[in-house]
Chain A
């Protein structure tokens, strides 16, 4: 993966997390919720998932499963 692609994915993930609005059904953003939104909005040929986020996006690494 190129540095440019890495930055693009991280920016998209951080943007998804920043746009999250809690609701009674989803009171907090989970790793599942983050990746589910990423898959819904973008192509994901690298099949990034929760483990990838933990390794590459420190600010999102502690999201609950």
Chain B
């Protein structure tokens, strides 16, 4: 290779999928409680939700405290009126962390590119799913970890 030619850079992407909520039955009006994703140093943490009742809401925490917010996930999943029954096509949300509250870096990312630029990882990442329907819901959540 000529000295003047740039060296090729290969950025390996590693992924890992882990089930953190395994077909939990959630009563009408109840929730799963906060379930930790067990951050492993990944660049991005994506939650994959399956649920058979609607409406439902996903919330998570900022790095600063234990308050539950919808806006730290992109896209937000707030009173969703769609069920997700197929494990090949769950509802995906990226954990962003520093969005969705007064005083946040960005109130609401307008695109996945923007969300990816400001997404952060920390040890307290997790999720809670609320069943806002009138029936018992079945909930499964898997975590897709992406290292880049």
Binding site for B on A (CB under 8 A): 25-26, 30-36, 39-40, 44, 47-51, 53-54, 64-65
Contact = CB atoms under 8 A, between A and B. Distances in A.
A27 B24 CA distance: 21
Q: Say which size band chain B's interface belongs to.
A: 10 to 19
Given A26-B86, A30-B87, A36-B52, A65 B136 contact: no
Of listed B24, B86, B138, residue having the most chain A CB within 10 A? B138
B138 A35 contact: yes
Interface string B17-33: 00100111111000000
B25 A47 contact: yes
Contact of A49 (B24, B52, B85, B86): B24
